[in-house]
Amino acid sequence: NPYANDPKRHPALKPSSSTPFNAEPPLQLLPDNFLTPNDLFFVRNHLPVPDVDPKTYKLEVGIDGASRTKSLNLSELKNRFQKKSVASIVQCAGNRRSEMVKIKPVKGLNWGAAAISNAEWSGVCLDDLLKYSGIDIDYVDCDHIIFDGLDQDPTGSKYGASIPIELARRLKRDIIIAYEMNGEDIPRDHGYPVRVILPGIVGARQVKWLHKILLSKKESDCHWQQKDYKGFHASIDWHNVDFSTVPAIQELPVNSAICEPVNGTSLEEGANEVTVKGYAWSGGGRGIVRVDVTTDGGKTWHSAELKQPDQPLYKTYAWTLWETTIPLPADTRDVEIRCKAVDSSYNVQPDNVDGIWNLRGVLSNAWFKVDVKVPG
């Protein structure tokens, strides 16, 4: 059993698969903490968790085809470079997939809306590491940066991913080769001892158990870069899909969810208002400028109070938690609460999931819907 050596997990995590381990925290717990506690942070593993010995761990950095590569051990990573921290979420492209499944089945884990968590990551700036390795990211003649993990399946094939060099140039000093998560060693499930943090970018590229950084003319040839984590329209299904026609998902679209009240809750008898809490986030460092909430199908909108992270509007990598107390319609016992977020480019979430359904159930970011009852 290749999973026998997987770490112990917090009992509150709700698994969507146990081997490999994939789990999300209870949605209503998310707004309790700006930084999600490490043991409640959602887990997305494609393979068994590798057991990495920090004494023998090495990170390799190089250019594809060039003979010289730099190799750094953990203490060199910790001591040779300035330490930098960034608060950044990790969100799976499949977050909220279960809402797409209700329309038509898709292939993938049945995630609710908590396949997203926020942490403060600390480590070395990728840019510093590349400079130290003799590579100037602005001038190097490469098109992609490939990140390889140490986790592998029984046939030896490994997890890996890449990002276009243009994205890396734009993010520059915000890309962290992280060895700490919320001030502690990164837990095994999240990539011990080292993972890459790519703020604003989909979870799938933020390779855990990182052992190699390779600048290349080519993308990662890994399955999850080439044949997965891409978006299509609803008339493309498994019989006619050609994954080579669209690029790999990188920056994620604007998204938000209501964490409280939970769908199906009965509010207090005769209640005439409700307190609604949730999260919002957008890709590419785009901050959240508004979260709109309605209890009457969108006739009346209320602006939620935003707890903005302490980050510039165009470099917002952490989530925005929000809260609002709004009146309930007087004439009904079944109340439909909806929310949508707007980011700094004025991108807004689509009103329903029908128009964005896709065979892998990724990029699910329609208005979030919670139905509650008001007895009395």
Question: Shortest gap between Cβ of 46 and ligand MTE (angstroms)?
Answer: 3
Q: Beta 184-185 vs 195-197: how paired, if at all?
A: unpaired
57 binds, among ligand MTE, Mo ion, none (CB under 5 to 8 A by kind): none
The reply to whether 44 sits near Mo ion by the rule CB under 5 A is yes
Task: Name residues contacting ligand MTE, limited to 202-241 (CB under 6 A).
Answer: 203-204, 206-209
Question: Shortest gap between Cβ of 181 and ligand MTE (angstroms)?
Answer: 8
Question: Shortest gap between Cβ of 90 and ligand MTE (angstroms)?
Answer: 5
Closer to Mo ion by CB, 44 or 195: give it: 44
**How many C-beta neighbours within 10 Å does residue 16 have?**
21
DSSP alpha helix (H) spans, the chain = 74-79, 97-101, 126-132, 165-171, 223-226
45 binds, among Mo ion, ligand MTE, none (CB under 5 to 8 A by kind): ligand MTE
Closer to ligand MTE by CB, 77 or 249: give it: 249
Binding-residue pattern over the window 74 to 113 for Mo ion, x denoting contact by CB under 5 A:
------------------x---------------------
CA distances from 138 to 130, 142, 176 (A): 11, 10, 17
Q: With contacts defined by CB under 5 A, how many residues of the chain interact with Mo ion?
A: 4
Closer to Mo ion by CB, 57 or 209: give it: 209
Residues 6+ apart with CB under 8 A from 134: 68, 70
The reply to whether 203 sits near Mo ion by the rule CB under 5 A is yes
Question: Shortest gap between Cβ of 117 and Mo ion (angstroms)?
Answer: 12
Considering only 159, 279, 357, 367, the residue that binds ligand MTE (CB under 6 A) is: 159
The reply to whether 364 sits near ligand MTE by the rule CB under 6 A is no
Sign of CA dihedral 114, 120, 123, 126: positive
Q: How does DSSP classify residue 201?
A: B
Closer to ligand MTE by CB, 42 or 322: give it: 42
Q: Could you give phi then psi for residue 10, rounded to 5 degrees?
A: -65, 135
Closer to ligand MTE by CB, 198 or 276: give it: 198
Considering only 84, 96, 97, 190, the residue that binds ligand MTE (CB under 6 A) is: 190
Question: Shortest gap between Cβ of 137 and ligand MTE (angstroms)?
Answer: 22
Q: With contacts defined by CB under 6 A, how many residues of the chain interact with ligand MTE?
A: 19
d(CA 86, CA 95): 22
The reply to whether 149 sits near ligand MTE by the rule CB under 6 A is yes
Q: Beta 158-164 vs 116-125: how paired, if at all?
A: unpaired
Closer to ligand MTE by CB, 77 or 116: give it: 116
d(CA 171, CA 126): 10
Closer to Mo ion by CB, 25 or 203: give it: 203
Question: Shortest gap between Cβ of 166 and ligand MTE (angstroms)?
Answer: 21
Q: How does DSSP classify residue 78?
A: H
d(CA 48, CA 153): 7
Residues 6+ apart with CB under 8 A from 75: none
Residues 6+ apart with CB under 8 A from 156: none
d(CA 289, CA 294): 17
Closer to ligand MTE by CB, 47 or 326: give it: 47
Question: Shortest gap between Cβ of 93 and ligand MTE (angstroms)?
Answer: 7
d(CA 50, CA 82): 28
Q: Beta 176-181 vs 116-125: how paired, if at all?
A: antiparallel
Closer to ligand MTE by CB, 57 or 159: give it: 159
d(CA 120, CA 8): 22
Task: Name residues contacting ligand MTE, limited to 31-60 (CB under 6 A).
Answer: 41-47
**How many C-beta neighbours within 10 Å does residue 330 have?**
7
- Which residues sit at the interface with ligand MTE, rule CB under 6 A? 41-47, 90, 92, 149, 151, 159, 190, 203-204, 206-209
Instruction: Give me the residues that bind Mo ion (CB under 5 A), please.
Output: 44, 92, 203-204
